[in-house]
Chain A
Amino acid sequence: MKAKIHVTLKQGILDPQGKAIEHALDSLGFKHAANVRVGKYMELDLNENDKAKAEAQVKSMCEKLLANTIIEEYRYELSA
């Protein structure tokens, strides 16, 4: 299976990059763009066809390494 993983700063934690991008969008005339959050995108292949097992593995990877859950949150999608 393939996993697509997104890691972003938690809501409520200041994201200075997001703020800078928001200001740039605003100055370009995109006045309605708000709450810009910047994150990381990772994708990886798993040698696992069982969705539940794959999910458990991805979750463990996120908790142990891919995200620092003190400051970040993660979400993922699994596909065949």
Chain B
Amino acid sequence: MNIGVVVFPGSNCDHDCQHVLKDVLGQAVTMVWHKESSLAGLDAVILPGGFSYGDYLRTGAIARFSPVMQAVKRFSVEGGLVLGICNGFQILLEAGLLPGAMLPNRSLHFVCRETYVKVENAATPFTNRCKSGQVLKIPVAHADGNYYTDPVTLAGLQANAQVVFRYCTPDGNVIPEACPNGSLDNVAGIRNADGNVLGLMPHPERCAEGMLGNEDGRAIFQSMMAAWEGKTLAEVR
């Protein structure tokens, strides 16, 4: 599988993603500079975490106009797998590839710690290697992860099983106290209606190898590989 990792000015988790995909999981990785206008030859694309354009104006607001984002849009329309992690999620929201927006964390603090997320939908190309209801321990590191959308859109996300991850306690209780940022309905990650675009705030690339003491994040990348090997998205959606 050949996976593209987009590099924006200010991305800082791009090499972590590359390391996990290449060194831990043995996949081919292509670093894609944000000025590129083609994603030809790639089987999936990751928008990594970081502080693209210094988070100026709003997180992701300027990165969404990078030339590569037109290509990412086309790639997603054609059914390609797109994963946005943290700042990558914020960019997908600003670009309109996922619904909603990020507000500053309710605490106003940058939150950097382990969180627990519940897999609410295990029938996606990003979670097919997880069990429904499984709890993953994955760290967050963000100041703007307070997911917001209007009540009608939220109801639609819930009805279509588009809320893929929700913050929870270590034993899987989805309660407000387990939410690090104030997100509506404890939303940690959502997918689009077609199921091939996922955004999440936690960083699976930071916990994908045993040496680091936590491998929970690996399942997300392995799910993408399984989905790609299965070829037809319909089977894993």
Contact = CB atoms under 8 A, between A and B. Distances in A.
Interface string B99-117: 0110111111000000000
B103 A13 contact: yes
A56 interface: no
A71 B57 CA distance: 13
Interface in B126-154: 148-150
Contacts of B182: 14, 16
Chain A CB within 10 A, most for which of B58, B61, B94, B182: B58
Contacts, number: 33
A74 B34 CA distance: 29
Interface residues of B, number: 18
B83 to A, nearest CB: 22
Contact of A71 (B65, B105, B108, B148): B148
A65 B104 contact: no
A37 B115 CA distance: 30
A66 interface: yes
A58 interface: no
A20 interface: yes
A19 to B, nearest CB: 9
A17 B105 CA distance: 10
Contacts of B100: 70
A71 B103 contact: yes
Contacts of A11: none
Given A17-B108, A71-B103, A65 B149 contact: no
A76 B148 CA distance: 25
Interface of B: 57-58, 61-62, 65, 94, 100-101, 103-108, 148-150, 182
Q: When A and B form their complex, which 4 residue pairs have the shortest distance between CB atoms, in order from nearest? A: A70-B101, A71-B101, A16-B108, A68-B101
Given A14-B182, A17-B104, A71-B148, 11 more contacts: A13-B148, A16-B106, A16-B182, A20-B108, A65-B62, A65-B65, A66-B57, A68-B61, A68-B101, A70-B101, A70-B150
